[in-house]
């Protein structure tokens, strides 16, 4: 089969939700509400942290960036999906598909790195409280976040450039609701050996290191908490990382479940539901997990709403 960098199609068809066409309006309203809840919830967290000087700490600095990444991740897939559902037009242009794939990989990778950085922050806060402010300096936090953005961008760009070199023939039906990398590779009539090899290498380099660091952090955190003599002290220490642990559990149980299970043993509808969980549902519920389980966040949000109501009455 010939290789080349030209594609024989100008668009792809997203068939992920085609089997649910009879529930089109229900799906449209469901995804619209999830998108609005996730977008506004993350935006409120960013505004509350920015307006409250007491929350200008490393933990909330990471949370601000995570909320921004969640907004961008939702906006990468859901708006196009809503348009396709409402218009019953499942097409997406070739450049639009590449752009969607790039930004999806970028923001999913960014979530991965930021969650690891937040785990390290909680590790230092609980295991080395006396040196926490020295270790987690503004410079280190800025370097961690900047590095997360840079590595995530390079990760996404590498996969996108390798897809550009592929040729696509007659089949243009993507069995997903967005341009997912594995599904695009299945449509190629060029050799994808290099793509598959790079996926494996980058998964090991980018995935194993941060996940190992995250697991190590929580093993040390849990062992430190268990050594606290009082039950009240243990609960107070655990409450500072409970929200993050909940988000980490949801994120990795769904995303890793999707990519570690062979497609031959996984029903298409089941895989699609899992994909909806980590691309739409988790970014939607993240703001509520962090706000409902965090006393400081609830107070900051209450103050933000109070300031808005006072401002509106003034006019």
Q: Is residue 137 part of a domain?
A: yes
For residue 307, the model assigns a pLDDT of: 60
Q: Is residue 237 part of a domain?
A: yes
For residue 152, the model assigns a pLDDT of: 95
Q: Is residue 182 part of a domain?
A: yes
Confidence (pTM): 0.86
Termini Cα distance of the chain: 69
Domain that holds residue 282: 11-314
**Is residue 189 a contact partner of residue 169, using CB atoms and an 8 Å limit?**
yes
Q: What is the CATH number of the domain that holds 94?
A: 1.20.1070.10
Q: How many domains does the chain have?
A: 1
Burial 214-253 (b: 16+ CB within 10 A, else e): beebbeebeebbeeeeeeeeeeebbebbebbbebbebbbe
Q: Is residue 4 part of a domain?
A: no
Q: Is residue 121 part of a domain?
A: yes
For residue 27, the model assigns a pLDDT of: 84
For residue 76, the model assigns a pLDDT of: 95
d(CA 95, CA 240): 43
Q: Is residue 3 part of a domain?
A: no
Q: Is residue 203 part of a domain?
A: yes
Give Cα 274 to chain centroid, integer Å.
Answer: 14
d(CA 221, CA 208): 20
Q: Is residue 243 part of a domain?
A: yes
Kindly give the confidence (pLDDT) of every residue in the chain, 315 residues in length, as a single tens digit, with 9 standing for 90 and above: 444 444 457 889 888 765 555 677 888 898 999 999 999 999 988 988 888 888 888 988 999 999 999 999 999 999 998 988 888 888 899 999 999 999 999 999 999 999 999 999 989 988 888 889 899 999 999 999 999 999 999 999 999 999 998 888 777 888 888 998 988 998 888 888 999 899 888 888 887 888 888 888 888 888 888 888 877 777 877 777 777 788 888 788 776 655 555 444 345 555 677 778 878 888 888 888 877 666 767 777 677 666 655 445 544
């Amino acid at each position: 089969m010939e290789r080349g960098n030209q594609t024989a199609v100008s668009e792809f068809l997203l068939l992920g939700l085609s089997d649910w066409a009879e529930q089109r309006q229900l799906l449209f309203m469901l995804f619209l509400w999830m998108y609005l809840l996730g977008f506004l919830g993350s935006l409120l967290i960013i505004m509350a942290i920015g307006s409250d000087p007491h929350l200008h700490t490393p933990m909330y600095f990471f949370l601000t960036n995570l909320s921004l990444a969640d907004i961008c991740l939702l906006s990468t897939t859901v708006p196009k999906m809503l348009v396709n559902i409402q218009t019953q037009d499942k097409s997406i242009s070739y450049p639009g598909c590449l752009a969607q794939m790039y930004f999806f990989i970028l923001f999913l990778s960014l979530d991965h790195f930021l969650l690891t950085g937040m785990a390290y922050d909680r590790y230092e806060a609980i295991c080395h409280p006396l040196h926490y402010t020295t270790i987690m300096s503004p410079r280190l936090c800025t370097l961690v976040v900047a590095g997360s953005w840079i590595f995530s961008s390079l990760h996404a760009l590498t996969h996108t450039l390798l897809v550009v070199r592929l040729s696509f023939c007659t089949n243009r039906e993507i069995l997903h609701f967005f341009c997912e990398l594995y599904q695009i590779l299945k449509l190629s009539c060029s050799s994808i050996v290099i793509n598959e090899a790079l996926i494996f290498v980058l998964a090991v380099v980018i995935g194993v290191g941060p996940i190992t660091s995250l697991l190590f952090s929580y093993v040390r955190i849990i062992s430190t908490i268990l050594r606290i003599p009082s039950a009240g002290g243990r609960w107070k220490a655990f409450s500072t990382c409970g929200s993050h642990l909940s988000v980490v559990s949801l994120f990795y149980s769904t995303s890793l479940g999707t990519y570690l299970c062979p497609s031959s043993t996984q029903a298409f509808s089941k895989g699609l539901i899992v994909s909806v969980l980590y691309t739409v549902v988790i970014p939607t519920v993240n703001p509520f997990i962090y706000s409902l389980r965090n006393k400081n966040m609830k107070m900051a949000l209450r103050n933000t709403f109070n300031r808005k109501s006072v401002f509106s009455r003034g006019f």
